Homo-oligomer: A and B are copies of this chain.
Amino acid sequence: MKNIFTLLCLLAAPACLCAQEALGYRPELISPVINADGTVTFNLEAPHASSVKVAGPWHESPVAMQRTADGIWSLTTDTLPSDLYCYYYDIDGVRTLDPVNPYVMRDIASLTNILVVPGGQGDLMTARDVPHGNVAKVWYESPSLGMTRRMTVYTPAGYDPEGDTRYPVFYLLHGMGGDEYAWNELGRAPVILDNLIAAGKAVPMIVVMPNGNAQQAAAPGIGPDNFAKPDMKRSVSPAGAIENSFPDIVKYIDSNYRTIPDKAHRAIAGLSMGGGHSWAISRKYPDMFDYVGLFSAAVRWNGGGVDPDAPDKTFAEMAARQFENAPALYWIAIGKDDFLYEFNAMYRKFLDNNGWEYVYHETPGGHTWKNWRDYLIEFTPMLFK
């Protein structure tokens, strides 16, 4: 390519003036700065503020920033382990985003800024110069739910819709308050999959991220309820609706993608409510999934946990059918501080009582996206091998 710039270069001056708003009110101020030693420096211009704090998972409560000069408030963290982090500011009691960092994530009704500290786990959550899969938002018919619904589908690099190669499918379910954006954005699933596949750690696979709210066709802003404020209630589904309608999704995927449509080439996993869905769906259809992942899963029954010594009869019969035809991998992951820990412990005891095999992965921490991204990174390499 020539090293001569086009006429467009000449446009830059007037266009910059015009787009000054779009470039932010302090284009020369950079925040956050990821320092070489793994510390992070935040910079915010707030000349009239009395108190500015930064909130992130590296500290239990928001940390006061120091006013340096010209109304710039700054703070440098300790060295942080390589990872993806969320943060926001508290300026005189108002929760705000960093006005000079355009990278954000939505969790239900709140936005937070994000940053990545590289050099380890964070690298897996960062787009790198590797082959990338495509990501599509597709609408499918769900006769069981009586609506056209939306989901996110990742196809791996090299996927050819008219080619001979067929792929296994991983169904990845979100939690309460989430939607078909959750794993794609908060969970960074496409980036993680690209990186795991490129490194040879995971086999190429299709990843399907449905909307798990039976009464909601699509994410807010996209479906008929758009611009309503997202809340948890939208995730409340009529009894059995998600389990009963799940074959609609599998049928659509097997009809529209180059899949290997058998149990050995299907996985299902989910977080929290989606872990509960994965738990129920894999039990209801014991011939459908050979890989099951329960991430901080809502394993509850009739409002309580599974009584390991006297489980509900129907539940026990279904579980027996599932483990008679046992999945190749049944993986349970949870953090020690998770509010669902005890329910998972009861369920594990029930499995132990029956001699049914599973792999258990216990981590620090609680009911957090940090854990769910880490679980995805642990779980995916074990699939379809």
List residues of chain B with CB within 8 A of the CB of A300.
7, 10-11
Do A7 and B238 touch across chains, with their CB atoms under 8 A apart? no
**What are the interface flags for A46-83 relative to B under an 8 Å C-beta threshold, 1 for contact and 0 otherwise?**
11111100000000000000000001000000000000
Do A109 and B50 touch across chains, with their CB atoms under 8 A apart? no
Do B7 and A276 touch across chains, with their CB atoms under 8 A apart? yes
**What are the interface flags for A350-370 relative to B under an 8 Å C-beta threshold, 1 for contact and 0 otherwise?**
000000000000000011000
Do B109 and A131 touch across chains, with their CB atoms under 8 A apart? no
A48, A145, A227: which has the most chain B beta carbons within 10 Å?
A: A227
List residues of chain B with CB within 8 A of the CB of A111.
97, 102, 104
Do B102 and A240 touch across chains, with their CB atoms under 8 A apart? no
Do A109 and B22 touch across chains, with their CB atoms under 8 A apart? yes
Question: Which chain B residue shows the least CB distance to A55?
Answer: B21
Per a CB cutoff under 8 Å, which of B1, B50, B110 touches A238?
Answer: B1
Quick check: which of A197-205, A217-225, A282-290, A325-333 contacts chain B, the rest being far away? A217-225
Per a CB cutoff under 8 Å, which of B101, B229, B235, B237 touches A100?
Answer: B229
Per a CB cutoff under 8 Å, which of B23, B91, B146, B176 touches A12?
Answer: B176
Q: Does A193 contact B (CB under 8 A)?
A: no
Do A116 and B5 touch across chains, with their CB atoms under 8 A apart? no
List residues of chain B with CB within 8 A of the CB of A8.
176, 235-237, 273, 276, 298
Q: CA separation between A379 and B222, bound complex, in Å?
A: 23
Q: Does A134 contact B (CB under 8 A)?
A: yes
Do A137 and B139 touch across chains, with their CB atoms under 8 A apart? no
Assembly stoichiometry (copies): 2
Quick check: which of A24-32, A166-174, A261-269 contacts chain B, the rest being far away? A24-32
Q: CA separation between A22 and B88, bound complex, in Å?
A: 12
Q: Does A302 contact B (CB under 8 A)?
A: yes
On chain A, the number of residues with a Cβ less than 8 Å from chain B's Cβ atoms is: 111
Q: Does A143 contact B (CB under 8 A)?
A: no
Report the minimal beta-carbon distance from A157 to chain B, rounded to whole angstroms. Answer: 7
Chain A to chain B contacts (Cβ below 8 Å), 19 pairs: A1-B214, A3-B238, A5-B239, A7-B303, A8-B236, A11-B273, A12-B176, A19-B107, A19-B108, A23-B231, A27-B109, A46-B93, A102-B220, A127-B224, A127-B226, A128-B224, A131-B139, A134-B138, A135-B137
Q: Does A148 contact B (CB under 8 A)?
A: yes
List residues of chain B with CB within 8 A of the CB of A233.
12
Q: Does A129 contact B (CB under 8 A)?
A: yes
Q: Does A371 contact B (CB under 8 A)?
A: no
Per a CB cutoff under 8 Å, which of B15, B134, B139 touches A232?
Answer: B15
Report the minimal beta-carbon distance from A299 to chain B, rounded to whole angstroms. Answer: 10
Do B237 and A6 touch across chains, with their CB atoms under 8 A apart? yes
